[in-house]
A and B are shown apart, each in its own frame.
Chain A
Amino acid sequence: MLSRTAENLYWLARYVERAEYLARTIEATLRVTALPNTYIGKTNEWDSALLTAGVSASFYGVYDEANEHNVVDYLSFSPANPSSIRNCIENARLNSRSVRTALTGEMWDTINSAWIDLQEVWGKGTKTREDLTKFLRFVLETSLRFDGSAYRTMLRNDAYWFSRLGLHLERADNTARILDVKYHVLLPEEEHVGGPLDYYQWTSILRSVSALTAYHWVYRETLKPWLIADLLILNDSLPRSLASCYGNLVRNLDQIGVAYGRQGAAQRHARGVRNRLEHSHMDDIFQHGVHEFIQEFIADNSRLGEIITKQYLV
Chain B
Amino acid sequence: MTVAFDEMNGPDGDLRPAYQELSRWLKETPPDALEYRRQEAELLFRRIGITFAVYGDAEAQERLIPFDVIPRIMSAKEWAILEKGLKQRVRALNMFLRDIYHGRDILRANIIPDDLIFQNPVFRPEMNGQAVPHDVYVHIAGIDIVRVNPENFFVLEDNARTPSGVSYMLENREIMMRLFPDLFARHRVAPVERYPDELLSALRSVAPLSAAAEPTVALMTPGVYNSAYYEHSFLADKLGIELVEGRDLIVKNDEVFMRTTEGLKRVDVIYRRVDDDFLDPLTFRPDSTLGVPGLMSAYAAGNITLANAVGTGIADDKAVYSYMPEIVKFYLGEEPILKNVPTWRCREPKHLAYVLDNLSELVVKEVHGSGGYGMLIGPAATRATIEAFRDKLKREPEGFIAQPTLALSTCPTCTESGLAPRHVDLRPFVLTGSNHVTIVPGGLTRVALQEGSLVVNSSQGGGTKDTWILDE
Q: Do A and B come from one complex?
A: yes
Stretch in A36-44, A93-101, A131-139, A272-280 touching the partner? A93-101
Question: Bound complex: CA of A281 vs CA of B207, how far in Å?
Answer: 61
A4 partner residues in chain B, CB cutoff 8 A? 245, 247-248, 259
Whether a CB of chain A sits under 8 angstroms from the CB of B261 is yes
- B233 is an interface residue with CB less than 8 A from chain A: yes
- Chain A residues 101 to 146 lying within 8 A of chain B, measured CB to CB, are 101, 108-109, 112-113, 116
For the complex, is B236 an interface residue (Cβ under 8 Å from A)? Answer: yes
Instruction: State whether B49 touches A3 (Cβ < 8 A).
Output: no
Residues of A within 8 A of B46 (CB): 116
| A2-B248, A3-B248, A112-B49 given; A162·B261 CB < 8 A | yes
A158 within 8 A of B: yes
Shortest distance between the CB of A8 and any CB in chain B (Å): 10
User: Which B225-259 residues sit within 8 Å CB-CB of chain A?
Assistant: 229, 233-234, 236-237, 242-245, 247-248, 258-259
For residues 31 through 54 of chain B, which have their beta carbon under 8 Å from a beta carbon of chain A?
Answer: 46-47, 49
Q: How far is the CA of A262 from the CA of B260 in the complex (A)?
A: 14
A293: interface (CB < 8 Å): no
- Contact residues in B for A116 (Cβ distance below 8 Å): 46-47
A112's closest neighbor in chain B, by CB?
B49
Given A97-B224, A98-B224, the answer on whether A3 and B259 have CB atoms closer than 8 Å is yes
Contact A113 B47 (CB under 8 A): yes
Contact with B233, one of A94, A101, A113, A314 (Cβ below 8 angstroms): A101
Main secondary structure of the interface of A (DSSP, over half): helix
**B262: CB under 8 A from chain A?**
yes
Interface string of A203-241 (1 = CB under 8 A from B): 000000000000000000000000000000000000000
By secondary structure, the B interface counts as: mixed
Nearest CB in chain B: distance from A13 CB, A: 15
Distance (whole angstroms) from the CB of B41 to the closest CB of chain A: 16
On whether the beta carbons of B233 and A3 are closer than 8 Å, the reply is no
Give every chain B residue within 8 A of A2 (Cβ-Cβ).
Answer: 242, 244, 248, 258-261
* Known pairs A97-B229, A112-B49, A113-B47; A158 contacts B237 (CB<8 A): no
Q: Are B237 and A94 in contact (CB under 8 A)?
A: no
CB-CB < 8 A to B248: which residues of A? 2-4
B237 & A112 in contact (Cβ 8 Å cutoff): no
B258 cross-chain contacts in A, Cβ below 8 A: 2
Using known A-B contacts A97-B233, A100-B233, A101-B233, determine if residue A1 contacts B47 with beta carbons closer than 8 Å: no
Point out the residue from B237, B260, B262 that lies within 8 Å of A100, measured CB to CB. Answer: B237
- In the complex, A210→B35 CA distance in Å? 45
Pairs A–B under 8 Å by Cβ, sample size 28: A1-B261, A2-B242, A2-B258, A2-B261, A3-B248, A3-B259, A3-B260, A4-B247, A5-B242, A94-B224, A97-B224, A97-B229, A97-B233, A98-B224, A101-B233, A101-B236, A101-B237, A101-B242, A101-B243, A108-B49, A109-B47, A112-B49, A113-B47, A116-B47, A158-B261, A260-B262, A312-B261, A313-B261
Known: A101-B242, A113-B47. 19 other contacts (CB 8 A): A1-B242, A1-B260, A2-B244, A2-B260, A2-B261, A3-B259, A3-B261, A4-B247, A4-B259, A94-B224, A98-B223, A98-B224, A100-B233, A100-B237, A101-B236, A101-B243, A109-B47, A112-B47, A312-B261
A-B CB proximity, top 4 nearest:
A100-B233, A101-B237, A312-B261, A3-B259
